[in-house]
């Protein structure tokens, strides 16, 4: 979006002042390498309509194109781009208290993804994959109060349900795993930071290793009880096979 303030009321009630594109890019350049990894996870706890997340997704989709392009080929392989671009979508997370911003953010991210998807996959696009991406975004961009860890309804009233994030991991081929965790527990640091795990295993992060809000894949959470839900399915079917 271009305007930084929508109304005085929204500034007063929710501190809604959007960041300009120039500032977004300058800030993201401070962590440029991470923004250009398809699978590094980003969470924006006051994401508005997605100024930061949109730019992060654009950068990740560029990285997805590179990863889907074999040596000595100029163009990405459509199905591999589809897979990589879905990984990119799974790795952006946001919390926003105002419902209209949540809807705008999800739509904006979907459109950025879909535009590249159509450009690269052309006739090979599938509505099933589009639905999967919409479903992932509906889970990753949460209408909630980041300060109190609870979801809120369309009118901004607190709901009883806590904020829960899904950890999506492409296991192999087209198989994807979803594991749900309570945001409050994640925030309170119940998982070992990824950097510590890498130090221990002496393995540098590589492109196939998803950096995590959640801890490394083979690292058992400190409190198993925080894992609330889990399933594995084809990435194009995440919307059918889970709740």
Ligand X SMILES: C[S@@+](CC[C@H](N)C(=O)[O-])C[C@H]1O[C@@H](n2cnc3c(N)ncnc32)[C@H](O)[C@@H]1O
* Token output for 192: 């070992």
H-helix or E-strand containing 232?
Answer: strand 227-234
CB 149 within 8 A of CB 163: yes
Site for ligand X in 64-83 (CB under 6 A): none
- Residue 19 contacts ligand X per CB under 6 A: yes
- Residue 204 contacts ligand X per CB under 6 A: no
**Closest approach of ligand X to the CB of residue 44, in Å:** 6
- Residue 186 contacts ligand X per CB under 6 A: no
211-to-34, 184, 190 alpha-carbon distances in Å: 9, 19, 16
**Closest approach of ligand X to the CB of residue 221, in Å:** 24
**Closest approach of ligand X to the CB of residue 75, in Å:** 34
Residue in 34, 36, 46, 219 binding ligand X, rule: CB under 6 A: 46
- Residue 16 contacts ligand X per CB under 6 A: yes
| Distance, CA of 113 to CA of 107 (rounded, Å) | 10
- Residue 151 contacts ligand X per CB under 6 A: no
Total residues in contact with ligand X, by rule CB under 6 A? 20
- Residue 89 contacts ligand X per CB under 6 A: no
34 or 234: whose CB is closer to ligand X?
34
CB 103 within 8 A of CB 142: no
- Residue 149 contacts ligand X per CB under 6 A: no
| Distance, CA of 154 to CA of 127 (rounded, Å) | 28
* Token output for 107: 């739509």
- Residue 117 contacts ligand X per CB under 6 A: no
> Which stretch, 43-51, 116-124, 126-134, 177-185, contacts ligand X (CB under 6 A)?
43-51
> Which stretch, 40-48, 76-84, 192-200, 232-240, contacts ligand X (CB under 6 A)?
40-48
* Token output for 1: 């979006």
Residue in 28, 57, 146, 163 binding ligand X, rule: CB under 6 A: 146
Strands (E), 72-200: 92-96, 141-145, 150-152, 158-162, 164-172, 175-182
- Residue 101 contacts ligand X per CB under 6 A: yes
Cβ density class 25-46: b for 16+ within 10 Å, e for less: eeebeeeeebbebbbbbbbbbe
- Residue 5 contacts ligand X per CB under 6 A: no
> Which stretch, 9-17, 114-122, 184-192, 227-235, contacts ligand X (CB under 6 A)?
9-17
15 or 173: whose CB is closer to ligand X?
15
CB 102 within 8 A of CB 55: no
Q: How many separate helices (H) and strands (E) can be counted in the chain?
A: 10, 8
Could you list the residues that contact ligand X (CB under 6 A)?
Answer: 14-19, 44, 46-48, 51-52, 95-98, 101, 145-147
């Amino acid at each position: 979006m271009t305007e930084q303030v929508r109304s005085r009321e929204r500034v007063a009630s929710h501190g809604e002042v959007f960041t300009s594109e120039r500032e977004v890019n300058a800030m993201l350049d401070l962590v440029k390498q991470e923004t250009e990894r398809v699978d590094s996870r980003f969470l924006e706890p006051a994401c508005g309509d997605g100024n930061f997340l949109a730019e992060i997704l654009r950068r990740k989709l560029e990285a997805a194109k590179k990863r889907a392009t074999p040596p000595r080929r100029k163009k990405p392989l459509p199905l591999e781009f589809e897979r990589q671009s879905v990984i990119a979508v799974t790795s952006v997370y946001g919390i926003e208290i105002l419902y209209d911003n949540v809807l705008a953010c999800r739509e904006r991210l979907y459109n950025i993804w879909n535009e590249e998807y159509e450009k690269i996959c052309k006739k090979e696009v599938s509505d099933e994959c589009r639905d999967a991406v919409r479903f992932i975004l509906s889970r990753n961009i949460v209408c909630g109060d980041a300060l109190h860890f609870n979801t809120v309804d369309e009118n901004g009233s607190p709901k009883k349900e806590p904020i829960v994030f899904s950890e999506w991991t492409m296991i192999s081929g087209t198989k994807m795993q979803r594991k749900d965790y309570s945001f409050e527990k994640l925030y309170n640091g119940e998982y070992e930071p990824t950097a510590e795990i890498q130090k221990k295993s002496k393995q540098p992060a590589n492109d196939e290793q998803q950096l995590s809000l959640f801890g490394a894949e083979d690292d058992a959470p400190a409190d198993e009880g925080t894992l609330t839900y889990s399933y594995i399915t084809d990435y194009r079917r995440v919307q059918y096979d889970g709740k």
